[in-house]
Structure 1
Amino acid sequence: MTPGEPILFVRDVTKRFGGLVAVDAVSFDVREHEVMGLIGPNGSGKSTTMNLISGALKATSGSIVLNGHELTRAKTFENARFGVSRTFQLVRILPGLSLSENVIAGGVFGHKKRWGREVTEFAESLLERVGLADKIGASVDSLTYIDQKRLELARALAGEPEVLLLDEWLAGLNPTELRTGIDLIGSLRSEGRTIILVEHVMDAIRSLCDRCVVINSGKKIAEGTPVEVLSDAAVIRAYLGEG
């Protein structure tokens, strides 16, 4: 689906931890129906930027606006209600709940709330959507790593977010699982989801992303299509060094 008009505006966002500037005056827009890659070396500020958008961290300065809602000072649950959902680098599922209950939590507390039988049926449809239809009755503790990731993704989708944040969702997968994961995210892309993708797997960046923003040492150093940014001299230096 062709990207539409911008719906998320990140403007001069800075995050300081004492004397450390983790994100330094970063600005970019995200368009509706767009998959945008947020890439850069380890420790460059990518996950901090995701945490600022989701509300897990508060910006020191700058502004983040989604469809007219100021996210910068809102509480995390308010950002979720405004339409931000996310997954994490380290999978976060609710081990004391069933698979359906894990997903129902996203439907009840997310952007578009559902209740009762409606949310139960919706949760089951999302579990099927991510490839867990045959495991709905299984224990959360019995899930493989990729299935835990699928469960977390289903919970993130349950709030029907305006913007879905995927923070290294493909990390830790074996080659077969990686292909499955890329195909799954690709199917979300084909549905017209708006996604910000933090990822180190360049095959995923090339095949999934409409545009990329590259961050290094907290600063944005490049923006453009995957082909443009991955051939940019500053980006190559950031990843590989001067040599």
Structure 2
Amino acid sequence: MSSAVLLEVRKVVKRFGGLVAINGVSFDVHEHEVLGLIGPNGSGKTTMMNLISGALPATDGYIAMDDKLLTDLPTRKIARAGIARTFQLVKVIPSMTVLENVMAGAVFGHKKLWGHALAVYAERQLERVGLFGVSHKPTADLTYIDQKRVELARALASDPKVILLDEWLAGLNPTELQTGIELIRSLRDDGRTVILVEHVMDAIRSLCDRCVVMSTGNIIAQGTPAEVLADPQVIEAYLGEDYE
């Protein structure tokens, strides 16, 4: 893992009225690493992803990438800076074909392609995620799992430096899970940095270089998967006393 810091999150706060969803959170993300963002439901993980991607504005603190301040930038400019994401609940454009969905991802990224070159590039992203030969199908006709693959291909089409995966492995059967783990690992091998929100502990152990553990909007542990999964505070707040 490179020691260079790519993304900085510093004292970030997010309030919804009187509710503090993120409470002064700070952490670094290093180049070419897979960082696990884990914790119980309602701990603020998806809110943190929304803040990094610009879907929500921070109440206080800042987020920067490559020394460029991302806080307060519109989502499209954050995407052009090199951040892409998938969603906990799949968000595809059902009125478009599979290929058109993926091509749309490139429009907001920093790889500027048009026409035939864009179509070829989008087709390659579909092949990359295991969707060969379905490019002209309506996205609405695909299974839920294949729609997740389309969403990942669309994120990759923007050629991101950092890709945010919000429970992308959820709902996969054991065979698909192993394929998904290898796919995420290959993203790092390609030089991308991944922030992974996930509850599948096998994926956390095998993929993540480091983990940040959140609970009620606060960070309660940081370290390698082995370190945080053995932390008594993490076991109490997240894993349960029966965890081994």
Question: With structure 2 as the length reference, what TM-score do the two structures score?
Answer: 0.95
Name the CA distance, whole Å, in 1 between partners of 2:112 and 2:63. Answer: 23
Question: Which consecutive segments of 4 or more residues in structure 1 shift more than 3 A?
Answer: 240-243
Gapped runs of 5+ residues in structure 1?
A: none
Preserved CA contact (<8 Å) 2:95 2:140: no
Name the CA distance, whole Å, in 1 between partners of 2:207 and 2:93. Answer: 29
Are 1:148 and 2:147 counterparts?
yes
Q: How far apart are residue 242 of structure 1 and its match?
A: 7.1
CA 1:202–1:241 in 2, change beyond 3 Å: closer, same or farther? closer
With 107-116 and 208-217 compared, the bigger mean Cα shift is at 107-116
List per-residue Cα deviations over 1:54-107 (Å, max 9, x = no partner): 000001000100112211111111111111100000001111111111111111
Name the CA distance, whole Å, in 2 between partners of 1:66 and 1:191. Answer: 19
- State the superposition RMSD in angstroms: 1.4
- Structure-to-structure mapping, 1:179-218, within 5 angstroms: 179-218=178-217
CA 1:4–1:116 in 2, change beyond 3 Å: closer, same or farther? farther
Name the CA distance, whole Å, in 2 between partners of 1:142 and 1:242. Answer: 43
Are 1:30 and 2:18 counterparts?
no
Aligned to 2:120: 121
Kindly provide the amino acid, as one letter, of the partner of residue 28 in structure 2: D
Secondary structure of the residue aligned to 1:62 is: strand
Secondary structure of the residue aligned to 2:92 is: coil
CA 1:4–1:192 in 2, change beyond 3 Å: closer, same or farther? farther
Gapped runs of 5+ residues in structure 2?
A: none
Aligned to 1:8: 7
Q: How far apart are residue 3 of structure 1 and its match?
A: 2.8
Preserved CA contact (<8 Å) 1:146 1:177: no
Question: With structure 1 as the length reference, what TM-score do the two structures score?
Answer: 0.95
Preserved CA contact (<8 Å) 1:84 1:111: no
Name the CA distance, whole Å, in 2 between partners of 1:86 and 1:213. Answer: 18
Preserved CA contact (<8 Å) 2:95 2:138: no
Aligned to 1:17: 16
Are 1:55 and 2:54 counterparts?
yes
Name the CA distance, whole Å, in 1 between partners of 2:176 and 2:132. Answer: 17
User: How many residues are treated as equivalent by the alignment?
Assistant: 242
